[in-house]
């Protein structure tokens, strides 16, 4: 049996590069950030529409298929990220989208004691001594590529990544592109 070709495509590489820029931006602001939504556009298209951005984007040193992110400052997820994303529809000029979100989780052996009541469950997780805080930056393109990056607050020097890291979040983001 042969291994499937795992060589990343140019689009996948461009998506990872854009997500890394988003993660650096969000990380520079520290932890306890709200969810942040970004439109992903081809850098060349952005510079063609807004030539004054070429220098700030360092466009002449980027690959031809580079992707730039544009934060959607007016978007606020509130408590229900699923509902907030269901209300999004992107114009055809947007190549993809990305979301940076922070969450807390517990080791699986501690999950059995989580209360059923949502408010009590949130309090239980927030106060648990083994709680881990994680920031996930997930992105998708209209062409089908998806990638996610994740950083634990307890291991800030490590960045995890992969196309299947946050499949549910990627699926939600993909629906906004239809």
Torsion over CA: 75, 50, 59, 67 (sign)? positive
What is the tens place of the pLDDT at every residue in 25-80? Answer: 999 999 999 999 999 999 888 777 777 776 667 666 677 788 999 999 999 888 78
Q: Work out how many domains the chain is built from and give that number.
A: 1
pTM score: 0.84
The answer to the question of residue 2 being in a domain is: no
Residues 150-160 as b or e (16 or more Cβ within 10 Å = b): bbeeeeeeebe
The answer to the question of residue 106 being in a domain is: yes
Residue 166: C-alpha distances to residues 41, 51, 60, 144 (Å)? 21, 35, 33, 15
Query: Does the pLDDT value for residue 170 go beyond 80?
Result: yes
Domain that holds residue 151: 10-175
The answer to the question of residue 5 being in a domain is: no
The answer to the question of residue 137 being in a domain is: yes
Strand order across the beta sheet in which 67-71 lies:
67-71, 36-42, 96-105, 132-141, 146-152, 160-162
Q: How far apart are CA 160 and CA 138, in angstroms?
A: 12
């Amino acid at each position: 049996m042969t291994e499937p070709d795992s060589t990343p495509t140019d689009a996948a590489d461009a998506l990872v590069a854009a997500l890394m820029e988003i993660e650096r931006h969000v990380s520079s602001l520290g932890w306890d950030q709200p969810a942040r939504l970004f439109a992903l556009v081809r850098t060349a298209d952005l510079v063609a529409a807004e030539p004054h951005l070429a220098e700030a984007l360092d466009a002449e040193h980027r690959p031809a298929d580079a992707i730039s992110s544009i934060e959607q400052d007016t978007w606020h997820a509130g408590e229900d990220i699923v509902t907030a994303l269901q209300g999004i529809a992107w114009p055809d000029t947007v190549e993809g989208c990305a979301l940076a979100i922070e969450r807390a989780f517990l080791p699986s052996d501690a999950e059995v004691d989580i209360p059923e009541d949502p408010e009590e469950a949130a309090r239980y997780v927030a106060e648990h001594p083994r709680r881990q805080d994680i920031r996930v930056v997930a992105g998708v393109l209209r062409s089908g590529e998806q990638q996610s990056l994740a950083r634990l607050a307890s291991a800030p020097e490590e960045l995890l990544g992969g196309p299947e890291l946050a499949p549910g979040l990627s699926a939600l983001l993909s629906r906004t592109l239809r």
